[in-house]
Structure 1
Amino acid sequence: MKLLCVLSALLFASVVAVELVSSLPVSRRYDSIFSFGDSFADTGNGIVVLAAHSLANPAAAPPYGMTFFGHPTGRSSNGRLIIDFIAEELGLPLVPPFLAHNGSFRQGANFAVAGAFARDASFYRDIPFVGPFALNTSSSVQLQWFKSLKPSLCNPAQECMGFFHKSLFFMGEFGVNDYSFSVFGKNLSQIRSFVPDVIKTISMATEKVIEQGAKTVVVPGIPPLGCSPGNLALFPSADPDDYESRTGCLKQFNDLAMYHNSLLQEAVNKVQTKYPRVRVIYADFFTPIIDIVESPDKLGFTRDILRCCCGGGGKYNFNISAGCGQPGSTVCENPSAYLYWDGHLTEAANHYIAKGWLNSINCCMV
C-alpha cells in the first residue's frame, strides 16, 4: 500500500467528510504535537528526502492538495491528513514537517516520511526492484531527528520533561512499508515471520519518547492491507475464496494486518504497564476503514468503495504506469465520496478516522 507510494507513485486513499465532534474542554490539553511515521502522516518531509535522492514525489504535484490547500504540500491525499484534523481540533497549528520548515517547532514537529519503515531500511535493500527506494528514514532515524531538535525546544533536562509532559506524541503507522515493500520479494508467510520484530521496533521507539518525557503517546495500528487498491490491482487472485465476501478485500493481506495489530495492542499494553504514569493509547486504523468498506452508503461514500478517486484506470483505478497526477490518469469529480485517493486515503476518510482517534485521546483524561 504505502510501499507503492514510493515505487510508482506512493499509495493513495480517500474517505468521507464526517463532522468531527470534539469532547475537549475549552482549555487546551496539549501545547504541541510531535509525530513520527510514513506517508499517512507525512506533511512535507518526503519532498525533501526524495529530491535528495533524485526521486520524484507524486504528492509534490497537482492534483494532490486540491481539496483543502489548493496546491500540493507533499501530503499523499487530496487534502488534510489525520494528524491535521487532530491538530485543528486541539486548537494547534498544523504540525510542520521537520525537514521543510524554517520556523519555530515549539508547538510541534512532524518527522514522518513517505515510504518510511519501522525497521532499518537495510532489511529491504536486497529485494528486487525495491532496493533503490528503501531510503534511510526509518523510525530510528526519525527519533534521531527528534533528539537533534530537542536542544532548541527546552533545556535543561528538567525543563524538557515539563515541556514534553504537555505534548502529544504520535508513533506513526509504522509497519505498512515493511510489509508492502517485502511483497515484491517474499511471500506472505515469510513476511508474517518478521511481524514480531516490527512490533518490537515500534515498542522500543515508543519507550524512547517516553524516556524523553512524553506523557501521552498514541500508537496507531495499520489499515486493512487487503482493501488497498494497490494490492488488489497488483496481486489479484482467480480464486473467489481469496476475497472476503463482505468487503471484496484480499483475505491474506487483511489477516497480516490483523496479526500486526493484535501483536501491537499487546505491546502497547505492556508499555502501559511498564510506565503506569504515562498514557499509551492504541489507535485503531483498521476498523474504521472496514466500516466504510462494508457500509459506504450509510457513511456517505460511493458504493464503488475500493476504487481510487485519482488514478490511471482499471477495476480499482490503480495503474503503476499512470499513477495519480501522471499522464493518462484522471480525477473523480467528488473526492469526498471516495475512501481512496490514489491508494492512500482521501481527506474525507482521514477526517472520519481522526474522529475516532480523538475520542480515544480524550477518553479518561486526568
Structure 2
Amino acid sequence: MKGLLFLSLFLFLSKFFSLANAKYNAIFSFGDSYTDTGNFAVLTNSPGSPPYGMTYFGHPAGRSSDGRLVIDFIAQAFGLPLVPPYLAKSNNYNQGANFAVFGATALGSQNNTSTKAQQQGTSLDVQFQWFEELKPSLCNTPQACKDLFAQSLFLVGEIGGNDHNFMLMAGKTVQEVASIVPKIIAAISAVAEKLINEGATTLVVPGILPTGCVPVILTRFPSQNKDDYEPNTGCLKNYNGLSSLHDALLRNAVTDLRAKYPQARIIFAEYYRAVIDFLSNPANFGFTGGSLKVCCGGGGPYNYNFSASCGGPGASACSDPSTYVNWDGVHMTEAAFKQVATGWLNGPYADPPLSSVPSYQLAH
C-alpha cells in the first residue's frame, strides 16, 4: 500500500515539475489593451500614432505603450516569436495567436449593464469564438489539438478592468460596479474552464491593476479630502478597494479551478501588487521620473489631459519613458511591463511563477 501511495505521489510530482519547467511551443492569449499586440490596429486600420512604440519598435506597433507588453517579454523569454494578432489573418499561427483587443470587456453585450463600448463585438466570449474558428487550421483531430494545447501557454487576461472603468466613467458608483464583479469573474472563469476542456494544461489568469492608481481615474475623480488617498502611493482608496475585490474573487475562482482540474497548472498573476510596489518605492525600480505622473500627456496634476491625449495634438512624451511607471494615463511603460513580466516569470507577482530554476532572462 505504501509503495502504491509513493508511486502515485511520484507520478503527480513528476507531472507537476515537468509542467513547471516546460518550454512552450505556442502562446495563445486573450484580453484587452494590456495584451493586444495589434488586433485593434486591424479593426481601425491604423497601428496608432507616434510616439507609441518609440522605445522598442521605433514606430507605432499596435501596442498601447512606448514598447513591449508583458506578453512580448514572456514570448521572448521562452524563445518564441512575438504573438501575432488574430485579426491580421497571418498565414501561420502554429506558434500562437493573440485574440486580445483594446477596449475589450469580460462581459459581452448580453449583460444588461453593458455600455456601448462593451457591445463592440470584442468581449472575452467573442475572443474565445475566434479561438474556435482558428482551431481547424492548427490541428485536424481532437487528439492533435489536445497535444498542441498541452504544449502551449494560455493567457486569460488581463481582462475585466474595462468593465469597471466603462461603468465608472458612465456615472456608476463604486458600489454599483462592485455588485457586477462576481459576473465579471464568472465570465473569466468560464473561458478558462473551456480552454482546459480544449486541452490547455498551463494557464495564466491575471488580475487587474489598482484602479485608484490609474491617472485617468485620478484625474476624473479627484477628491478634496486627503484621507481618500493612500499615503504611501497617492492612489484613491475607494477605487483600489474595487480592484482588491476583483482580485480576491478571481483568486478564489482560480483555486476552485485548480481543485476541479488538478491536471492543469493554473497561475494567478498580479498587476495590482506590482503597481503598488512601483508606487511605494519608485526609486527601487528605477522610476525616478514619475510614478503617478504620466510620461506621454498634455498637462494637469498627473500630466493627463482628456483633451490632449498621447499621440494627439497638445500632448508630448517625456525624454526617458524608462523612468516612468505610466505611459499615457491608462497603460504602463515598457519598463514597467518588463518589471511585471519578470515578476510573473520568476516571482513574486505570480502564484506559482511561470518558470522555475533556471530563471528566465528578459530580452533588452
Q: TM-score range by the shorter chain?
A: 0.7 to 0.9
Aligned to 1:290: 276
Aligned to 2:354: 361
Aligned counterparts, 1:182-193, within 5 A = 182-183=167-168, 184-193=170-179
Please say if residues 65 and 72 of structure 1, whose CA atoms lie closer than 8 Å, have aligned partners that are also in contact. Answer: yes
* Deviation for aligned residue 1:47: 1.4
Aligned to 1:350: 337
After TM superposition, the score normalised by the length of structure 2 is 0.88
Is 2:61 the counterpart of 1:76? no
Please say if residues 290 and 325 of structure 2, whose CA atoms lie closer than 8 Å, have aligned partners that are also in contact. Answer: no
Instruction: Indicate which of 157, 164, 167 corresponds to 1:172.
Output: 157
AA matched with 1:37: G
* Deviation for aligned residue 1:125: 7.4
AA matched with 2:242: L
Is 2:130 the counterpart of 1:145? yes
* Deviation for aligned residue 1:121: 3.4
Instruction: Map Cα deviations across residues 113-145 of structure 1 (whole Å, 9 max, x no partner).
Output: 000000103547765xxx257411011000000
Instruction: Indicate which of 273, 291, 300 corresponds to 2:259.
Output: 273
Instruction: Indicate which of 213, 217, 225 corresponds to 2:211.
Output: 225
Taking the aligned partners of 2:88 and 2:140, their CA distance within structure 1 comes to: 24
Is 2:55 the counterpart of 1:61? no
Aligned to 2:25: 31
Aligned counterparts, 1:41-52, within 5 A = 41-51=35-45
Structure number with the bigger relative contact order (C-alpha 8 A, sep ≥ 6) is: 1
Instruction: Indicate which of 181, 188, 202 corresponds to 2:188.
Output: 202
Please say if residues 28 and 91 of structure 1, whose CA atoms lie closer than 8 Å, have aligned partners that are also in contact. Answer: no
Q: 1:99 to 1:157 in 2, by over 3 A?
A: same
Taking the aligned partners of 1:73 and 1:303, their CA distance within structure 2 comes to: 24
Aligned to 1:154: 139
AA matched with 1:36: F
Please say if residues 107 and 114 of structure 2, whose CA atoms lie closer than 8 Å, have aligned partners that are also in contact. Answer: no
Aligned to 1:121: 109
* Deviation for aligned residue 1:50: 3.7
Instruction: Indicate which of 86, 99, 102 corresponds to 1:111.
Output: 99
AA matched with 2:175: S
Aligned counterparts, 1:306-325, within 5 A = 306-325=292-311
Please say if residues 117 and 166 of structure 2, whose CA atoms lie closer than 8 Å, have aligned partners that are also in contact. Answer: no
SS of aligned partner of 1:322: coil
Aligned to 1:6: none
After TM superposition, the score normalised by the length of structure 1 is 0.87
AA matched with 1:32: A
Please say if residues 124 and 182 of structure 1, whose CA atoms lie closer than 8 Å, have aligned partners that are also in contact. Answer: no
Larger radius of gyration: 2
Taking the aligned partners of 2:196 and 2:118, their CA distance within structure 1 comes to: 31
The count of corresponding residues between Structure 1 and Structure 2 is 332
AA matched with 1:295: N
SS of aligned partner of 1:298: helix
Q: 1:48 to 1:282 in 2, by over 3 A?
A: same
Q: 1:227 to 1:153 in 2, by over 3 A?
A: same
Q: 1:242 to 1:259 in 2, by over 3 A?
A: same
Taking the aligned partners of 1:125 and 1:272, their CA distance within structure 2 comes to: 30
SS of aligned partner of 1:330: coil
AA matched with 2:303: N
Q: Which runs of 5+ in 1 are unaligned?
A: 1-23, 52-56
* Deviation for aligned residue 1:64: 0.4
AA matched with 1:40: Y
AA matched with 1:31: N
Please say if residues 29 and 155 of structure 2, whose CA atoms lie closer than 8 Å, have aligned partners that are also in contact. Answer: yes
Instruction: Map Cα deviations across residues 297-340 of structure 1 (whole Å, 9 max, x no partner).
Output: 11111263101100111111111111001110011000000000
Q: Which runs of 5+ in 2 are unaligned?
A: 1-17, 347-352, 359-364
Instruction: Map Cα deviations across residues 44-81 of structure 1 (whole Å, 9 max, x no partner).
Output: 00112245xxxxx7x61111001000110110000000
Taking the aligned partners of 1:107 and 1:211, their CA distance within structure 2 comes to: 20
Q: 1:134 to 1:316 in 2, by over 3 A?
A: farther
AA matched with 2:263: R
Instruction: Map Cα deviations across residues 135-167 of structure 1 (whole Å, 9 max, x no partner).
Output: 110110000000000000011001110011000
Aligned to 1:17: none
